[in-house]
Structure 1
Amino acid sequence: MKVLDKVVVVTGAGGGIGRELVLTLLSRGARVAAVDINEDALEETVKQAGEKAGKLSTYIVNLTDREAVEALPEQVIAYHGAVDGIVNNAGIIHPFTNINDLDYDKIMLVMDINFYGTLYMTKAFLPYLLERPVGHITNISSMGGFLPVPGQAIYGASKAAVKLMTEGLYAELKDTNVNVTVVFPGGVGTDIMRNSGVEGAGMTNASEQDLSQLLTPKEAAEIIINGMENNQYRVLAGKDSKIMDTLYRLSPKRAVGIIAKQMKKLINH
C-alpha cells in the first residue's frame, strides 16, 4: 500500500522505531495517528514532526486496555476521516532472566503488551480496513520471534505469537483488499530497555563496536515502510536478522548455540 495520502496508525509512537515510523510516514505524504502510553513522549514526536504536525494526531492509550483500544478507530476516523493502515510497533522486553526466575506479573505484562496489544489493535481496526479500497496491517515481531534468545524467552514467545498470528492473518486476508506484513527486526539502537523499566537488568555495557552494528531507528523505519509500500509478506530488518533467519532454517540447533554464546558475553552471571 503506497502511503501517500493514506491514514496510518502507529503504536509505540513516542520514541525509537515508532517515532521514526511516524516521521517517515509524514515525509512520504501520509497522515498519521500516533499512539503511545507516554504523553510527554508523544509531545516530543509532534515537536520533531515540525511543519508536518498538521497531518499528525496523538492518542494516549494503554494497549492492554481492550476497551480503550476498541474506542480508538472511531477517534481516528473522527479526526482524519478514514483509516487505511496500522503499524503495530509497541512492545517491551523483560529483565534478562531465565524463565525459572521470572515472576508471573512481568510475564503477563510482556504478553499483554506485545501479543494482546497487537491482537486488540488488529481486531479493532480490521473491520474498518476491510471497507477501504486498499488497507494494510504491519505487525512488528522480532528476530527473537523465530530464534530463541537466552534470558528473553518470554519476550521471544510473545513475538513468536505475533509472528504466527500475522502469518495466519495474511492467509485469511489474501483474497481481500487488506495486505499483511510481518517484520523481524534484528538489533536496533533504541531505548527499549529503559522504556521497559529494565535498563541494565543483567546486561553489561555494550561496546562501541557492538553499538555500531545496530540499525538506527530511522534505518529500521525506512525498511519497515518500504515493506509496507511493497506489500511484502516478510521483512527482515538488519543484517543480523537476515543471517540468523537463513542459519536457523539450515540448522536450528547451531543457530541457537551461536546466540547463546553471544549472550554469555553480554549477560552478567
Structure 2
Amino acid sequence: MNFSNALSLAERTAFVTGAGAGLGRSVARLMAGAGACVVCTDIDADAAKATAAEIGAQGATAYSQGLDVTDREAVRAAVRAAYARTGRLDAMCNIAGVAGDGQQVADLDEESFDRVFAVNFKGVLFGSQAALEFMTGAKRGAIINMASSAIDLAFPGTASYSVAKSAVVMFTKTLAAEAGPFGIRANVVAPGFVPTRLSMPGNDDGDAARQACLAAWAQRAPLRRVGDADDVAHQFLYLASDAASFVTGQILRANGGATMPW
C-alpha cells in the first residue's frame, strides 16, 4: 500500500459531531474528500444540513442530523441510525464543544461548570460508547476526540474548559487500553489556537482587537502563526486512516510548537 492509499477513507463511514461550523465542519469536508461517507451532526440541525449539502455539491456522500451530544440516548440513536444507513462505522470524531464563560475559580458556579463539562467531556463519553457498540463486533475503528492546548496551558478564567479537556485526554488513554484488543484505536487531537466562532465569537477579520489577539497567539508558537481549521482537520484524517494503524492512546498536538511537553 502506498502512502496516498493509506490516507484514503474510500467506502468508510465517519460520524462527526459539531460538524455545523468551525473545526467539525472542516473535518467533515476533508474526510468526505478522502472518500468517506460522512454523517454530519450538530446541535444546530440547519448548520449540519448545510455542511452535508456542501459536501454533496462536491460529489461526495454526506447525511445530516441535529444532535445534542449531552443526551446519551440521542447520541446512541443517531449512531445506530448512521450504521443502519451505511452498514458500518469506521471513524467516530467527537468534536462538538463549547467555551467557558471566563469565570475564575473563586466565582465559578456549578451550573456553568456542569454545562461546559457536559458538552466537552460527556459528549465524548457518549459518542465513544455509541461507537463501541458497532466497532467492537467489527474489530476495527478509530475514535478521535477533540481536546485543546488548554491541557498544557493554564489561563485565568478557563478552569471548567481546561478540566473538561484534560478529562478527555485521560479518558481516551483508558479507552485505548480497553478497546485496543478489539482492533479499535483511540486518540486525541489537541490543537493550538485556531480562530473559529467558538474561540473568537463576534469578531470579524477587520476587527483590530481580533488582529491583535491573533498576533499575540502567533508569537507564542515557534512557527509564528496561528493554525487554521484545515491544520486540525488533517490530523483527524491521519488518525482515521490506515496510515495511523499503529497509533493509539496518543495526543497529537497541532499547535505550531506552542507547547512541547516531554
- TM-score greater than 0.5 by the shorter chain: yes
Could you tell me which residue of structure 2 aligns to residue 191 of structure 1? 197
Which structure shows the bigger proportion of residues in helix conformation?
Answer: 1
CA distance in 2, matches of 1:66, 1:43: 22
Aligned partners of 2:15 and 2:40 also within 8 Å: yes
Return the offset for 1:206.
Answer: 4.5
CA distance in 2, matches of 1:7, 1:20: 16
Aligned length: 239
One-letter code of the match for 1:49? I
1:105-144 to 2 correspondence within 5 Å?
105-144=111-150
One-letter code of the match for 1:192? L
Segments of structure 2 that go 5 or more residues without pairing to the other structure are: 1-5, 204-208, 219-224
Could you tell me which residue of structure 2 aligns to residue 234 of structure 1? 251
234, 246, 249: which one aligns with 1:222: 234
CA distance in 2, matches of 1:46, 1:243: 33
The question of 1:95 aligning with 2:112 is answered: no
69, 74, 92: which one aligns with 1:68: 74
Calculate the TM-score normalised by the size of structure 2: 0.84
1:135-174 to 2 correspondence within 5 Å?
135-174=141-180
Could you tell me which residue of structure 1 aligns to residue 206 of structure 2? none
Percent of paired sites with the same residue: 27
Aligned partners of 1:227 and 1:235 also within 8 Å: no
One-letter code of the match for 1:153? A
Segments of structure 1 that go 5 or more residues without pairing to the other structure are: 250-269
- Per-residue deviation, residues 114-173 of structure 1 (Å, max 9, x unmatched): 001110111111120112252110011111123322211110000000000001111122
Could you tell me which residue of structure 2 aligns to residue 244 of structure 1? 259
Return the offset for 1:183.
Answer: 1.1
CA distance in 1, matches of 2:114, 2:90: 31
Aligned partners of 1:46 and 1:53 also within 8 Å: no
1:171-182 to 2 correspondence within 5 Å?
171-182=177-188
One-letter code of the match for 2:79? P
CA distance in 1, matches of 2:112, 2:134: 33
Q: Report SS of the residue matched to 1:96.
A: coil
